[in-house]
Amino acid sequence: MVAEIRLAEALVVVDVQVAFVCGAGAVPAAAPLTEAIVGLVTKARAVGAVVVHLQNDGPAGEVDEPGTPGWELYLPVHEGADEVVIGKTGDDGFDDTDLGGLLHRRGVRRLAICGVMSEMCVSATARAALRLGFGVVLPHDAHATYDIPAAPDISDVVPAAVASRVAEWALGDGIDIVARAAAVDFVAPDTSPGEGRRVGDADLLTSARTACKLQSLGRFAMSDTTCHMSISLDGFAAGPDQSRDNPLGKRGREVHSWHIGDPRANDADKIAAEWLMRPRGAYVMGRNMYGPIRGDWDEEWTGWWGAEPPYHAPVFVLTHYEHDPIEMEGGTTFHFVTAGFDAAYAAAREVAGDKGVDIAGGASTVRQALIAGVIDELTLDIAPVLLGSGERIFDGVESFGFEPVEVLHSPLTTHIRYRRAG
């Protein structure tokens, strides 16, 4: 059984300093450890993922006292926008450092962690990352520690390999542990400048035969117009008979189960959910996507999402009936546009600037965007479900004009990212 490939947008290298991986004071099996870490760093650099080297500043007299040979980093650092060194004085790499701020500024959502002192610095940094909402991948062969000494009336010596495994186990269900660093690949975070691509290690991906197969990908530019829709196998984004009590229509939840709590969802679904929630500068959506009210505005309605919708940006709602803008918590303001799709899209482009526009649905609005030819990147989550009727996104769309650039899949859906051809 070969492990699925895990993707991360950043690599945090914890305390890989000379004192801990070289000479008589090195952790056991330092050679294979450093080989695995070098492989991770090489792959992360190749695609422009963020690489952070944590460097521990030990107390005076310790092997990692600042300025001593043992304090120096073992790996050469390619310092720049994508690779930095952050000093720390405690176990947790986020504590009293700019690590969290850096990762958030760069748009990182999922990171891989490697390094030394599994039960202390690696564990504390991983816990903090989880607490801050990051997805965390921990390759088993890319972290290590020392034997835990015997303690009178408590235990014999605990071998280092056992201590590392217990440290993994103690992190709980939130951590994504993989056996080998070879099962981790990288992608540049979506909010970084410039163009990038997925790691191009064809031999690795072929041999892995992973469920998350990667194709050559030109990463989307922030200024692009995007659209991400879940559809059934017969092309419906929602089932028939949509209502306030059943906003996705009959059996519509089956199309969306991959991101609304189905226990069969896997790592591919988590990654696709991160695509879905990436921030954009403005959104365009249809009246039906905004709410169940039909006809004139005969009641107050502020959307399906509560006081703080997930958009955090202007949202332009297509409607035939005028309505004053509605300002919500968290930066979302709903603007109601009666002049049609072109007017709503133009307004969204103007306010979004280089942060880009997302066509948020529903089916009719997506059809209009496809016919207008404004979508640069289209992601479809195709569920193995036949709805038979409902709302289709491709009715009246005479040409597609996209080519697939990435495919991920799970038992619940196949996620396909398309880019406009040419």
Which of the 8 DSSP states describes residue 75?
S
360 three-state secondary structure: strand
Q: CA 328 to CA 332: how far, in whole Å?
A: 5
Q: CA 74 to CA 144: how far, in whole Å?
A: 15
Q: CA 71 to CA 356: how far, in whole Å?
A: 44
**Are the C-beta atoms of residues 180 and 141 closer than 8 Å to each other?**
yes
In b/e form, how buried is each residue of 103-118, taking b as 16+ CB within 10 angstroms?
beebbbbbbbbbbbbb
Q: CA 266 to CA 43: how far, in whole Å?
A: 23
From the list 272, 202, 237, the residue with the least C-alpha distance to 417 is: 272
Concerning whether 121 is annotated as a catalytic residue, the answer is yes
**Are the C-beta atoms of residues 119 and 145 closer than 8 Å to each other?**
yes
415 three-state secondary structure: strand
List Cβ neighbours of 315 (8 Å cut-off, separation of 6 or more).
282, 283, 284, 285, 309, 332, 333, 334, 335, 360
From the list 91, 102, 3, 101, the residue with the least C-alpha distance to 49 is: 102
Is residue 24 classed exposed, middle or buried when 0-12, 13-18 and 19+ CB atoms within 10 A define those classes? exposed
User: Which one from 22, 114, 121, 212 is the annotated catalytic residue?
Assistant: 121
Which strands sit side by side in the sheet containing 333-337, from one edge to the other? 326-327, 333-337, 314-318, 282-285, 357-361, 225-232, 377-383, 414-420, 402-409
Instruction: Look at the block and give the residue holding tokens 């496809």.
Output: 370
| Backbone φ, ψ for residue 205 (5° rounding) | -70, -35
Give kind and range of the element (H or E) at residue 256.
helix 252-256
Cis peptide before 422 (omega within 30 of 0): no
What are the catalytic residues? 121
